[in-house]
Structure 1
């Protein structure tokens, strides 16, 4: 039984034969291997096009910006999984990536949707600064969290975010979405009554959108980046295991309380 409407099954990414591998209409061996960097190849895989110089430059930059941030919960999960099953590198990597959601790592996708919604309103004639204030007021009234703002470590600014914005200006790629991110920064201070730290997720989304990346591809960038960081931690875990130490500290940090203690 087929669920949904029947349609022709098509992929535009790759096909392989005994003699060759074709990727996005290009021969992998004779055209792509030895000519493209992995960053350029990743862009081609995602979009079907080869990147411009700025698209390649900033994709490289953003992958570096988000790949590593210390012993994050995703890293702890990956390391503890490898400690429990040393032969399952792929399982440990998957354990880490499964934690990349809207609280950690995956926030850029939510930022992209927020920026796109705001820019759509500006396109039909609304004032950009007023749009930013109105949208953030709605989020706060609903008790929601503002994606792309706040950080437990980086205060008063996230140095990664500021560097991305600085280079976007320097290379002339800052466009309407980057401008809207700055409007959100000002509006956040007004709506919350204090400055909020713009974290790395907001400029990642803004720059990607200004460079023509589809919204659906935004989350792929931090996921690929964190896969690299996780693999580095797992390589270290194999040589210098700390997974069980992390688990022991987690157990020690939590107090057990019997249900009768609350009665």
Structure 2
């Protein structure tokens, strides 16, 4: 049974013949290889256009900012997967990426949606930005939804990565409406949610990229692309300096069994 609308089976991303490979209208060999950076190529693949120098620099900065942040759950999943299946590097990378969701890395996309909703509300109502923020944040709270991109268990006085991305956006002339919304949300949150929540990297990434005309629907891919590089670094280290099974043992030792057991049973994972 056919599902979906009747559309022509075409793609505008890539095509080839025996002589030429075309990527987004450019000759891969003659125009792109050795002539543009991977960051510029990423922008081209996603948007169909080569980036301006400012757009390339902004995307590059966000990729560098989010590629690595220690032994977070996605990295632990990848390293323990490789420890269990050392022949499957691709499986270990996939395990790490599958561990990225609404809490780890996925908040950049949802924060971008939040900022877009605020700007849409302001445009629709014709009111102030403050009113649009208040209405949108209160709707999130009423629906028991977290405010994505705000709060951090470690960087409670301000995420230094976020501060740096905003500084770069200003230097590049890309600090616009979305950056302003992100900062205003941070300023208003103590009043709206009764506690201060500082902006984290997951709010800064969509703010600076949306102001650079990066597409909203592709935001989720930026942290995934960046973290893939970090995962490969961890997985190389896992092969030469393994800690995957040590992490597994530490988890088993840290968690106590409290379920039913025969009389006299004492759990001992050691």
Q: Same fold (TM over 0.5)?
A: yes
Q: After superposing the two structures, state which structure 1 stretch, 188-197 or 81-90, moved more.
A: 188-197
Deviating above 6 A after TM superposition, structure 1's stretches of 4 or more consecutive aligned residues are: none
How do 1:92-131 residues align onto structure 2 when only pairs under 5 Å count?
92-124=92-124, 125-131=126-132
After TM superposition, give the deviation of residue 174 of structure 1 in Å: 0.8
Q: After superposing the two structures, state which structure 1 stretch, 165-174 or 78-87, moved more.
A: 165-174
How do 1:3-82 residues align onto structure 2 when only pairs under 5 Å count?
3-82=3-82
Structure 1 SS opposite 2:119:
helix
Which residue does 2:150 correspond to in 1?
149
Q: Is the 8 A contact 2:62 2:205 kept in 1?
A: yes
After TM superposition, give the deviation of residue 110 of structure 1 in Å: 0.2
Structure 1 SS opposite 2:105:
coil
C-alpha separation in 2, matches of 1:171 and 1:29: 30
C-alpha separation in 2, matches of 1:241 and 1:205: 35
After TM superposition, give the deviation of residue 187 of structure 1 in Å: 1.7
TM-score scaled to structure 1, two decimals? 0.96
Residue 230 in 1 paired to residue 212 in 2?
no
Q: Is the 8 A contact 1:83 1:243 kept in 2?
A: yes
Structure 2 SS opposite 1:259:
coil
Could you give the per-residue CA deviations for residues 58-101 of structure 1, whole angstroms, max 9, x where no partner exists? 00000000000000000000000000010100000000000111
C-alpha separation in 1, matches of 2:158 and 2:235: 30
Which residue does 2:193 correspond to in 1?
192
Aligned residues: 261
After TM superposition, give the deviation of residue 133 of structure 1 in Å: 1.6
After TM superposition, give the deviation of residue 194 of structure 1 in Å: 2.5
After TM superposition, give the deviation of residue 108 of structure 1 in Å: 0.5
C-alpha separation in 1, matches of 2:170 and 2:123: 22
How do 1:132-211 residues align onto structure 2 when only pairs under 5 Å count?
132-211=133-212
Structure 2 SS opposite 1:245:
helix
TM-score scaled to structure 2, two decimals? 0.93
Which residue does 1:244 correspond to in 2?
245
Which residue does 2:268 correspond to in 1?
none
After TM superposition, give the deviation of residue 8 of structure 1 in Å: 1.1
C-alpha separation in 2, matches of 1:162 and 1:119: 22
Structure 2 SS opposite 1:247:
helix
After TM superposition, give the deviation of residue 15 of structure 1 in Å: 1.5
After TM superposition, give the deviation of residue 260 of structure 1 in Å: 6.6
Could you give the per-residue CA deviations for residues 137-174 of structure 1, whole angstroms, max 9, x where no partner exists? 22223222110011111111110111111221232211
After TM superposition, give the deviation of residue 221 of structure 1 in Å: 0.8
After TM superposition, give the deviation of residue 4 of structure 1 in Å: 2.1
After TM superposition, give the deviation of residue 43 of structure 1 in Å: 0.5
Structure 2 SS opposite 1:22:
strand
Which residue does 2:265 correspond to in 1?
none
Structure 1 SS opposite 2:209:
helix
Q: After superposing the two structures, state which structure 1 stretch, 54-63 or 168-177, moved more.
A: 168-177
Q: Is the 8 A contact 2:117 2:136 kept in 1?
A: no
Provide the alpha-carbon RMSD of the alignment.
1.3
